[in-house]
């Protein structure tokens, strides 16, 4: 029997893409658990596979799949074994929803906002008719603090912040267990960002939704995070309780990453990490960070395990074995 406090358990998830130059190991052997009601922030450089990880869990796959394997237990069921139609009916939006990057593009430009927000109720049989769906859509709009007048508008008539909140309302519509937020605030101004973060905090507190927040905006997301995960070159290198992580990251990469975050009114020399992440076409069999790591030693020529080091912390580094 699965422990139901763990809403999601991912085991050795792999997603490799086929390209002309060979397979790209975008997500390679990722394992972790999510506790119900907690928010996890996933950070990492562009191209480290953090978005792809969410797509792999949500089964939003491109055409050029080379390998897609692993186990994903959602509420005690391995959803990787479900057929596409079952996955659509049982998992999509009902249990897991998505808020993509803040952009014009997450809403269909030719359909009214209301039609799009009300759609999940109709698709998943949570509303008897269109009017009922609209009534429920109105409620989620109030929840995220958007005027219900906007339901009758088209996406281009809304500002970026409004659109993003409409998408958030849509994601919360039929009360999913997990909401993946893929850089939900990255194209918005600071005030709107804060505003959305506050809305998210309120929702987490009131509804107990599990959030997975994928971002490279570490400063803003630290507000919401209960746990922090760091990805590097397609792998998870650290997963920690947020409080500990922000104070004292363990993995050398996490340390460098945190040192590169600017802080207000503190005279700190911002650091950067020399070199580049390894190509995911043919990543080294060593620790993937070894080449850029200042703490490298003999053992780093082998791939380290992702290990529980106690205190709700996992690290993939030989220094912590």
Partner 1 sequence: MVVKAVVLFITVVIGLYLVIMIANMGGHLDDVRRAEIRLGVATGVYMNPANQGLGSAALKQLTEALVVVQYRRYGLDRPFWIRSIDYLVTAITLDLGRAEYISSDSGSKEVRRILAERLPPTLILFGTASLVLFFGALAVALFLSRRYGSILDKTVIGLAPLSAAPGWFYGLFLILTFAAVLRVLPWGGMVKAPPPKDTLEYALSMIQHMILPVSAISISVFFASVYSWRTFFLIYSSEDYVELARAKGLSSRALQRRYILRPTLPTIITSFMLMMITTWMGQIILETVFNWPGLGRQYLTAVNLNDTPVIVGTLVIFAYLLAGTLFLLDFIYAIVDPRVRVAGGRR
Q: Under the rule (CB under 8 A), what is the footprint of partner 1?
A: 58, 60, 63, 88-89, 91-94, 97-98, 100-101, 103, 105-112, 119-120, 123-124, 154, 156-157, 167, 170
Q: Closest separation between CB of residue 184 and partner 1, Å? A: 12
**Cα distances (Å, whole numbers) of residue 137 to 151, 184, 305:** 8, 20, 46
**Nearest distance from residue 52's CB to partner 1, in Å?**
13
Closer to partner 1 by Cβ: residue 49 or 277 = 49
**Token pair belonging to 119:** 């759609």
What residues pair up with 314 in beta bridges, in sequence order?
239, 308
Q: Return the number of the residue (74 or 287) whose C-beta is nearest partner 1.
A: 74
Shortest Å, Cβ 118 to partner 1: 11
* Nearer of residues 104 and 321 to partner 1, judged by Cβ: 104
> Which residue, 212 or 230, is less far from partner 1 as judged by CB?
212
Smallest distance, partner 1 to C-beta of residue 309, A: 34
Q: Which is nearer to partner 1, 8 or 300 (CB)?
A: 8
Q: Which is nearer to partner 1, 115 or 238 (CB)?
A: 115
Q: How far is the CB of 140 from partner 1 (least distance, A)?
A: 14
Closest approach, Cβ 162 to partner 1, in A, equals 16
C-beta of residue 12 within 8 angstroms of C-beta of residue 31: yes
Nearest residue (CB) to partner 1, 133 versus 237: 133
**Min CB(154)–partner 1 separation in Å:** 5
Q: How far is the CB of 321 from partner 1 (least distance, A)?
A: 38
Q: Of 120 and 304, which has the nearer Cβ to partner 1? A: 120
CB of 120 to partner 1, least distance (A): 5
3-state secondary structure the chain: CCCCCEEEEEEEEEEEEEECCEEEEEEEEEEEEEECCCEEEEECCCCCCHHHHHHHHHCCCCCCEEEEEEEEEECCEEHHHCCHHHHHHHCECCCEEEECCCCHHHCCCCCCHHHHHHHHHHHCCCCCCHHHHHHHHHHHHHHCCCCHHHHHCCHHHCCHHHHHHHHHHHHHCCCCCEEEEECCCCCCCHHHHHHHHHHHHHHHHHHCCEEEEECCCHHHHCCCCCEEEEEECCEEEEEEEHHHHHHCCCCHHHHHHHHCCCCCCCCCCCCCCCCCCCCCCCCCCCCCCHHHCCCCCHHHHCCCCCEECCCCEEECCHHHC
Answer for the pair 187, 177: CB distance below 8 angstroms, yes or no. no
Please give the Cα distance from 127 to 114 (Å, whole number).
14
Nearer to partner 1, 153 or 299 (CB): 153
Phi, psi at 317, each rounded to 5°? -160, 140
């Amino acid at each position: 029997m699965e422990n139901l406090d763990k809403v999601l358990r991912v085991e050795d998830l792999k997603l490799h893409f086929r390209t002309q130059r060979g397979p790209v190991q975008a997500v390679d052997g990722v394992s972790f658990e999510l506790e119900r009601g907690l928010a996890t922030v996933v950070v990492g450089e562009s191209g480290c596979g953090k978005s792809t990880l969410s797509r792999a869990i949500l089964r939003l796959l491109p055409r050029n799949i080379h390998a897609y394997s692993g186990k994903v237990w959602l509420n005690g069921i391995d959803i990787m074994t479900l057929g596409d139609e079952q996955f659509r009916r049982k998992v999509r939006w009902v249990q897991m929803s998505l808020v993509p990057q803040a952009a014009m593009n997450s809403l269909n430009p030719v359909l009214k906002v209301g039609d799009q927000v009300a759609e999940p109720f109709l698709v998943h049989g949570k509303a008897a008719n269109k009017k009922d769906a609209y009534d429920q859509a109105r409620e989620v709009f109030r929840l995220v603090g958007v005027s219900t007048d906007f339901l009758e508008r088209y996406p281009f008539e809304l500002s970026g912040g409004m659109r993003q909140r409409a998408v958030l309302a849509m994601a919360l519509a039929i009360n999913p267990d997990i909401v993946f937020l893929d850089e939900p605030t990255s194209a918005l101004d600071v005030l709107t960002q804060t505003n959305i973060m506050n809305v998210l905090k309120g929702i987490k507190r009131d509804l107990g939704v599990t959030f997975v927040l994928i971002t490279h905006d570490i400063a803003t997301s630290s507000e919401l995070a209960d746990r922090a995960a760091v990805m590097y070159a397609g792998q998870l290198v650290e997963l920690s309780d947020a409080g500990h992580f922000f104070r004292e990251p363990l993995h050398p990469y996490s340390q460098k990453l945190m040192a590169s975050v600017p802080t207000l009114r503190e005279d700190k020399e911002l650091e950067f990490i020399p070199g580049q992440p390894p190509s995911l076409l043919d990543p080294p069999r060593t620790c993937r960070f070894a080449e850029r790591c200042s703490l490298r030693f003999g053992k780093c020529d082998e791939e380290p395990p992702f290990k529980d080091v106690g205190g709700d912390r996992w690290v993939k580094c030989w220094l912590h074995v």
